[in-house]
Amino acid sequence: MVSEAAERCRSAWHAVPWLLRVVALYSLCLVAVVAAMYLLGRLLTAVTALSVAVAGALLLAALLNPVCRLLRRLRLPRSLAALITVLAFLGIIAGVVVLVASQVATQFTDLGSTLASGLREIRQVIIDGPLPVSGKQIDSLAQAVRQYVTSADVDPAAAAQSTIAALGGVLLAIVLLFFLLKDGDRMWQWFLRIFPDRRRNSVAEAGQVGWATLSRYIVGQMVVAAVDGIGVGIALLLIGVPLVGPLALLTFVGGFIPIVGATVAGAAAVLVALVANGPTEALLVLIAVIAVQQLEGNLLEPLIVGRALRLHPAPVLLAVTAGTLLAGIIGAVIAVPILAVLYRSGAVLLRHRGGTQSAELPAMP
């Protein structure tokens, strides 16, 4: 009975034209992939804080691991070396924040009147320009924006909950960073023992390749972002644009978001120059930003980060978009290195597919 039903189904399937069968199979695979991505997205959204904390700790561990290993070579215990590394990193972050905040506070009073006069000047340029825009239309638009901002309904309980969740995620990332620096190689040894002998070799190599990719990417991107921030900062200082520190810091952070980050940071610098200084200075800032981005894209990025990434811009842009939708700016920062690690590690696993060799338990590089 069952065999007859199976035979009838097989006959009906072969009766369908070949092209239609191929389209049906590909459509079924596409639906399965989309459903899996949707379920994965829902899962990541439900545990966004945890996912971001773990990913952030891994990125920082890849960046700070050479410093921690250097301290260990100086005969410092594991715990002390990891603690000194984490505290030094937090101290640098705190110092940068204090420096930028002090500059903003110092220039805030003078900047207010400068911005007001700059906005009036831009308004007049738009009115006198070729566009059919009147002063009443600009005033109506400004009034609508002000009403939208002031009428935004903020729930204090939700805001407090979000703040607590964010602080908890930061604390979790710091604690995880400490343990990764202290016992990361031991964790890797333990993790490899979960797999059977015939799979251990491929998993070990995939992990090593993924970690090396992550380390090269984060260190290289740090260098590229630093060059971007310093270059734009020097240009803003020479042109006389206010808020040099915050804009240079924004450019540095934007350097960690491929394609999108540099554009947004450059637009912010040009906008501040336009409002605070005028169109001539804004044009000079635009030229400086384009020059720095060309230096980054044509020289620094291929030499420093290119070998670690080796990804087409299209999946990079999709990864940045997906990371932004799932976890905001932090998601945009961590999306590309995660994609690079998955791509390189997955290639190793596919190459070792069907292998039966056992492996020793190598430490993470």
Q: Give the pLDDT confidence of 12-56 residue by residue, as tens digits.
A: 666 667 777 777 777 787 787 777 767 776 776 666 777 788 888
Tell whether 247 is covered by a domain: yes
Note the pLDDT of residue 193: 86
- 170 and 273 within one domain: no
- Asked whether residue 354 is domain-assigned, the answer is yes
What integer pLDDT is reported at residue 363 of this predicted model?
44
Q: Which residues, at least 6 apart from 177, have a Cβ–Cβ distance to it below 8 Å?
A: 57, 60, 61, 64, 86
Burial of 309 (0-12, 13-18, 19+ CB in 10 A): buried
Calpha distance 182→61 (Å, rounded):
10
Q: What is the DSSP letter of 300?
A: I
Give me 87's structure tokens: 């505290």
Domain boundary among 182, 202, 228: 182
If asked whether residues 262 and 365 sit together in one domain, one would say: yes
Q: How far apart are CA 273 and CA 240, in angstroms?
A: 9
pLDDT of residue 73: 92
**Looking at the structure, do residues 214 and 295 belong to the same domain, yes or no?**
yes
Give me the pLDDT at residue 149, please. 56
235 in a domain, yes or no? yes
Residue 333 tokens, joined = 């920062």
Same-domain pairing of 246 and 177 = no
pLDDT at 197: 79
The sign of the CA dihedral 262, 267, 268, 269 is positive
| pLDDT, position 118 | 67
**How many CB atoms are located within 10 Å of the residue 178 CB?**
19
Residues 163 and 306 in one domain: no
My answer on whether 221 and 298 are in the same domain is yes
Write b or e for each residue in 161-176: b if 16 or more Cβ atoms lie within 10 A of its Cβ, otherwise e.
Answer: eeeeeeeebeebbbeb
pLDDT at 360: 40
C-alpha dihedral, 49 to 54 to 55 to 61, nearest 10° = 140
Domain co-membership, 199 together with 316: yes
Residues 201 and 223 grouped into a single domain: yes
SS3 226: helix
Give the global pTM. 0.71
In a domain, 239, yes or no: yes
Sequence-ordered list of residues with C-beta below 8 angstroms from that of 103, at least 6 positions apart, any chain: 243, 244, 245, 246
Burial of 336 (0-12, 13-18, 19+ CB in 10 A): buried
- 283 dihedral zone (left: phi>0; alpha: psi -120 to 50; beta): alpha
H/E element, 274:
helix 260-276
220, 332, 145, 136 alpha-carbon torsion, rounded to 10°: 60
If one counts the domains in the chain, the total is 2
Instruction: Give the Cα-Cα-Cα angle 249, 255, 259 (nearest 5 degrees).
Output: 140
pLDDT of residue 309: 64
pLDDT on residue 152: 56
343 with 208, same domain?
Answer: yes
In whole angstroms, give the CA distance from residue 207 to residue 185.
11
Residues 259 and 175 grouped into a single domain: no
Q: Give pLDDT, residue 357.
A: 44
The boundaries of the domain holding residue 178 are 152-182
Residue 308, in any domain of the structure: yes
* Token code pair at residue 3: 């065999």
Q: Cβ neighbours of residue 203 under 8 Å, at least 6 residues apart?
A: 192, 195, 349
- 171 with 244, same domain? no
Within a domain: residue 119? Answer: no
Residue 222 domain-assigned (yes or no): yes
Is residue 356, in this structure, part of any structural domain at all?
yes
Positions of the chain with pLDDT lower than 50, given as ranges: 356-365
pLDDT at 339: 84
Measured CA to CA in angstroms, residue 220 lies from 194, 213, 309 at distances of 32, 10, 10
Interacting residues of 287 by C-beta distance below 8 A, sequence separation 6+? none
Interacting residues of 118 by C-beta distance below 8 A, sequence separation 6+: 274, 275, 276, 277, 278
**Same domain? 269 vs 165:** no
- Count Cβ atoms below 10 Å from residue 270 Cβ, excluding itself: 22
